[in-house]
Amino acid sequence: MKHLLFLTGFFSVFGFSQSIRIPYDLSKVRSFRDWQGEFLVVPGQPKVPKITARILVPYGQTVKKVEFVFDSTQVLFEKRRLERVSFPLATCLDKSSQSRLPSPIENSAWYPQKPWSEPSIIQKYGYQVLYVDLYPAQYQSELEVISWLPSGDLQIEFTDSRAFFLENLRSDEQDEREALLLADDISAQSTYPPVSAKGGLAEYLIIGPKEFLADQSEYSINGLMREKASRGITSKYLTLEDIGTQFAGSSTQEKIRAAVKKSYKEEGTRYLLLIGNGYSKTPTKILTVELSEGSLPSDLYFGCLDGDFKTRPYDLACEVAVGRAPASTVAELRAFVKKSLVLQSLKVGDPLVWRTINFGEKMDSSTYASSSLKMLAEGGIAGEGNPTVGYPSQALIFNFYETPQKTYSSSQFLQGMNLGPFYTLNHLGHCQNTYCLKLNLDAIPKIKTSLPFVGFTQGCFPGNMRQTNWASKMVLQSEGGAGAFIANSNYGWYEPGGGDGHSNRLHTMFYDTVFREGSRVLGKTLYRAKERLISQALNDSYMLWVLFETNLFGDPEINLKFP
């Protein structure tokens, strides 16, 4: 069911406050069973309907006040019991420690507490989008009653703030298209200044130790920059040593982010490759969420350039797509570059791109990962009311699904990987820092794949950039293995007894972004998938956790070769 948004009002940038009213039609449904839209799904709370308004804020204005106005005498009530949403479980071998959020809503209170959420502003390329949830139904668990609202108006009051926009607006035609994808209502687009032509002095920025610059071989970082130049992509290398002396900040991470901001604004940077393992070389940023044990190594910090990541709402719409070459030596960097160039050289539409492996393990006594990974092949959901598409029908998917009757040993799965080339690999199972796909670090050299592949795992800690980790080893392996891998730096989360786990939502949204939206650039596709889950992350700290911790070990500018 689609709820249409009608925007009326007058936009201006002449420096005075103004209001607009957005009528919402909430009159079509008066039964929980009939609801076909999205849901507010927060662990520990009842699942209730929601409508997310995503509205482009007029240029030169900021949001002063948001309120949903409706006729309270027209509220209808439905007697129904709603169960609370179960908490996710961590995809770890050792699940002895599970994070929990306390339930702040008492049985006698209405949930949500009011019919609309606090407004959040999401920024990208200088465009601002207002996110606010409307809740057509509120639930009182003690009485087991749903209160259904009538139609109403979302009233938004703006005030002038042109100075902020003039400082931060920098976009071209492609940037504008990407930014406007955040909004469902773009009526205010005409209030923004015209965008400039595409181009920049350093579209592709590389940051790493100066020791890697001397190598001029084919598979050096200079070789990678030459390949970019052959396709018209400008690039630049900034050394950590220069960043340390030329930029302000209380930490190396803050100085790196300052350098990226400057390059983005002045030189048109849209891709960032960080060279270093994330702990002893080119450190990543540690972000936190409102959960126990929520320390999350995250490269998102270097690509989302608005806000400070200290107060909500966090900036989750990135201007720069970030990937990491987790190399500590020249030899490791050469292996990374070589596999990146092989992936980039594959022809668009090569039949090989339709070959994929899905590996789903037994998660617990009642949960098998196949129910989640099947969504990649058949289509599924990324949270209640968010349908996704899977691989097209021409895909040749090799399924390694554990069942009550079937399990796979490490040697069996290794043999399956080595039988023939494949392009993508998807995994949900138990992992740790140095273990994933049922393979320890010392087993990774046994992967003899003839073509580097693109991998995605939902497991715990394989990309933990606080120490030696499995994902880094996988992309640095000189012969065989992955050319790019998307992995978690902390816990992955799955749904016990079901398939709609928080980590699986990002995984399914990634491929929906590929096959529904046509996104083909690896780093941008991952970040776009995260953007499409912002409305969930604003309410659910587990979803925010996943968006923070999921990092790309690979070249962010690699083009996926699906036709």
Residue with tokens 């030459």: 226
pLDDT tier, 292 (very low <50, low <70, confident <90, very high otherwise): low
How sure is the predictor about 4, in pLDDT bands with cuts at 50, 70 and 90? Answer: very low
Q: How big is the CA angle at 534 (ends 36 and 522), to the nearest 5 degrees?
A: 110
Distance (Å, whole) CA 85 – CA 43: 5
Task: Identify the pLDDT of residue 11.
Answer: 38
pLDDT at 2: 37
Q: What is the pLDDT of residue 168?
A: 58
At what angle are helices 221-230 and 330-345 packed, to 10 degrees? Answer: 20
pLDDT beyond 70 at 27: no
Half-sphere exposure of 117 (CA within 13 A, CB side): 23
DSSP codes joined into one string, 187-246: GGGGGSPPPBPS--S-SEEEEE-GGGSS--STTSHHHHHHHHHHTT--EEEEEHHHHHHH
The DSSP annotation for 274-293 comes to EES-SSSSS--EEEE-SSTT
Lowest-confidence range among 62-66, 210-214, 223-227?
Answer: 62-66
Count other Cβ atoms within 10 Å, centred on residue 278. Answer: 25
| pLDDT at residue 108 is higher than 80 | no
Q: Which of 478, 434, 429, 461 is nearest to 551 (CA)?
A: 461
Assign 95 a pLDDT band (cuts: 50, 70, 90): low
Buried residues in 335-362 as b, exposed as e (16+ CB within 10 A): bbbbbbbebbebeeeeebbbbbbbbbbb
What is the predicted pLDDT for the residue at 481?
95
Strand order in the sheet with 235-239: 235-239, 204-208, 271-275, 321-325
Instruction: Indicate the SS3 state at residue 8.
Output: strand
pLDDT band at 386 (very low <50, low <70, confident <90, very high): very high
How large is the average pLDDT for residues 513-527? 98
What are the tens digits of pLDDT across the range 299-349? Answer: 999 999 998 898 888 989 999 999 999 999 999 999 999 999 999 999 999
Cβ-proximal residues to 81 (8 Å cutoff; 6+ apart), any chain: 144
Mean pLDDT of the region 118-141: 93
Write the pLDDT tens digit of every residue in 254-267. Answer: 999 999 999 999 99
User: Please, which pLDDT band fits residue 279 given cuts at 50, 70 and 90?
Assistant: very high
Tell me if the pTM is above 0.85: yes
The better pLDDT of the pair 80, 10 is held by 80
CB atoms within 10 A of CB 451: 17
Per-residue pLDDT at 354: 97
Given this model, what pLDDT does residue 26 score?
73
DSSP annotation of 446 = G
Which residue did the predictor score with more confidence, 252 or 154? 252
- Mean pLDDT value across residues 346-367: 96
Of the given ranges (96-110, 111-125, 452-466), which has the lowest mean pLDDT? 96-110
What is the average pLDDT value for the chain, to the nearest integer? Answer: 90
Domains in the chain (CATH in brackets) are: 18-191 (2.60.40), 341-553 (3.40.50.1460)
Confidence tier at 167 by pLDDT (50, 70, 90): low
Please give the average per-residue pLDDT across 190-201, as a whole number.
Answer: 83
Q: In this model, does residue 6 exceed pLDDT 50?
A: no
Distance of CA 306 to the CA centre of its chain: 16
Across residues 274-290, what is the average pLDDT? 95
